[in-house]
Structure 1
């Protein structure tokens, strides 16, 4: 049985996107590798705050049916640059139960192991559901602080939480809470401020996310507020030069208890739309690295919605905050033109079974990667499943029909292509100059 300190996958713990069945051998070996990662590695692999993606990568591969050898290879490929979870600065579990000590160490990555052990003990005593209720969803100052930090670091803590819940691994849920504790607070400030604006001027109607994206692009002071020289394009750009406009547009998208399911599908579909359609023809097709995280986190919101113990009001809040951040992320890369024809008219590099979903996944299993690409492929497939269930083309859903497999092929073709795997700041001219001077597309792709 999986516990707050022990990772144990079964053949049934394969997540919400079905591709191929898993074997007991692969379940056992993947559990061993995830346990090694849990015991021996920090959730951040360097002092700059870059994230350890091993757990995300291995669970995605496992869930989609990768073999033991494919999972072992990916683990070994990303092993060398990890670092241990401990440091010279630690606090005991007893110390962390003191509210002042718990708060004092927030935002400091050297206390990751202290927070991890603390949350593991809390889960042993109360169960992981009660710990999440107390520390993330209680609605008090402490919980709001940690919930805001869950959206920091390009959504990595909430991605980690989603994997832990989806794959029934309390140890990963403990990791996600500790990860949130060592992130900063600028996302919390943005999200709470947006929430306050929405409460002070409640709207009886909601624009679609797509409509709001187009409004943001048309607002030139906002869409150009982020500068290439900004260290953080949101906190140092958008929130300095155009905060009021950003909050005005973000809060036009409204989630209610009645619209939760429809708005969840809309968020998923739209994050994939703006990530895949933000291209620069005739340059190579590349997905923007930052937008990609909006997609990779989108897959977990149906899982959050299915939690029987979580109030619908908290589910609404989770989704509402995701929408606020997605819209702000779009603006932060200078609100590029969204070219739907880039998706509709895309010609996959390969044909036949290699261009179908099972073939796309097999190719994603075998590339050299840290997990971003296969997560993106799985999240796009989830978008198709969710949108098909809702009814394509309704409620602001731009992606439909054969666009889904086109996007799946755009993902794998772009990372198999030469040069950098990802675009970085697709709306910035400087990004195209700095990151590899993308070659023009091959004749097949024009």
Structure 2
């Protein structure tokens, strides 16, 4: 991304056919679909809030996925009608954008006002315009260096907020960088700014400090997931009745066990390429391996987000303007959060045999048919994002398939993709705990599997 941009450019979605098609895309991307995505994403940018819930009413931030869905559809080769259709079916439940608070916007350059305005969802549009103006003046690299990578209090605060809301701000940032859209980068920063950092700042920094002690061993994420699954305290830390399974489950009942494992996952500046590949493979392992023998395959809604964000570490790795120190820290934080999420879902024991032995509904399954079925699924984009991330993981981990820490091998990726699309609820719809969705929530909890059909 350029060092600077005009204010008009930063507030506009401008997708260029043949150029802005993503790190993983089909051989022929539909030009009209690219143009259609630009139009709908401009509407989203101008008119829609990043949350469709209200924290004071619902107690949780549920996220607008319109950007993620449209750009994934483009990369996977859909047409303009489908881009418009899926945008239209996912807009009725969205929140309108909140008006700018001129008193906030005009003073966000003051550190006291900036700090006081964080964590308030009503300040989203004010933060959006602020970050647009910052990017117009300093460029995306300059703004991300100042607000995310400088390793001072302000940037550390934003860095952690990117991980709130089940990784959605970081996923959004990834799309903005991947598709070369400063406006979407501004959206990601604004979205992160209005998330509360809750307890994440504390546990991320505690793990970071503990990991610097001499003699702390180092293990792969897959190894640590297996160790968590073998630890009774980790398995029993949460249950399906606990609402915040991270805070009131893992960090209340198994914090010492979690931190002991988390500090062993860390990435150094000289190993970005291989550890990016490892993260992609390990998050695939966490997602598609969390199955039950004698049950139909199901993907855990919370675990799949670790896989869905993994592709963007491939995007970040390719940006020469992102310091290797930041790339390593991003990988480290994502891996530690993936481990925390795994434990919060009951630390399920990984079992790839369920996927490897799965009998496909369609005997003519291929990546082409898997992708076609995913992009036509009428949900909010989670399925298509997962298939694209899985295909990217297959691609980026292929050179390392002989290494033990790369648990998901060769044909496992396509097998998993087939199982995912075979088990999608054809009704689709938005994801939510009270929705008729395709996912389970808590793959390590026995009661969660009661409603899943036997294999």
> TM-score under structure 2 normalisation?
0.92
Question: For residues 276 and 135 of structure 1, what CA distance do their matches in structure 2 show?
Answer: 35
CA deviations over 1:293-325 (Å, ceiling 9, x no partner): 000000000111111111111111111111111
Unaligned runs of 5+ in 1: 442-446
CA deviations over 1:373-423 (Å, ceiling 9, x no partner): 0000000000000011x2313150011121111011011111146863001
Counterpart residue number, 1:408: 417
> TM-score under structure 1 normalisation?
0.94
| Alignment of structure 1 residues 44-443 onto 2, 5 Å | 44-47=51-54, 48=58, 49-87=61-99, 91-185=103-197, 186-201=199-214, 203=216, 205-352=217-364, 355-388=365-398, 390-394=399-403, 396-416=405-425, 420-433=437-450, 437-441=451-455
CA deviations over 1:240-277 (Å, ceiling 9, x no partner): 11212111101112311222211111111011112111
Paired positions, count: 434
Contact 2:378 2:426 in 1 (8 A): no
Question: For residues 91 and 412 of structure 1, what CA distance do their matches in structure 2 show?
Answer: 48
Unaligned runs of 5+ in 2: 428-435
Question: For residues 321 and 152 of structure 1, what CA distance do their matches in structure 2 show?
Answer: 12
TM superposition shift of 1:160: 0.2
- Are residue 14 (structure 1) and residue 24 (structure 2) matched? no
Question: For residues 133 and 91 of structure 1, what CA distance do their matches in structure 2 show?
Answer: 26
Question: For residues 103 and 276 of structure 1, what CA distance do their matches in structure 2 show?
Answer: 40
Q: Would the alpha carbon gap of residues 414 and 254 (structure 1) be closer, same or farther in structure 2, given more than 3 Å must change? A: same
Question: For residues 128 and 259 of structure 1, what CA distance do their matches in structure 2 show?
Answer: 25
Contact 1:234 1:328 in 2 (8 A): yes
Contact 1:149 1:184 in 2 (8 A): yes
With 402-411 and 342-351 compared, the bigger mean Cα shift is at: 342-351
Question: For residues 175 and 215 of structure 1, what CA distance do their matches in structure 2 show?
Answer: 38
Contact 1:14 1:64 in 2 (8 A): no
TM superposition shift of 1:89: 5.8
Question: For residues 313 and 135 of structure 2, what CA distance do their matches in structure 1 show?
Answer: 22
Counterpart residue number, 1:444: none
Question: For residues 308 and 109 of structure 2, what CA distance do their matches in structure 1 show?
Answer: 33
Contact 2:425 2:437 in 1 (8 A): no
RMSD value over aligned CA atoms? 1.7
Question: For residues 424 and 139 of structure 2, what CA distance do their matches in structure 1 show?
Answer: 40
Question: For residues 258 and 34 of structure 2, what CA distance do their matches in structure 1 show?
Answer: 45
TM superposition shift of 1:206: 2.0
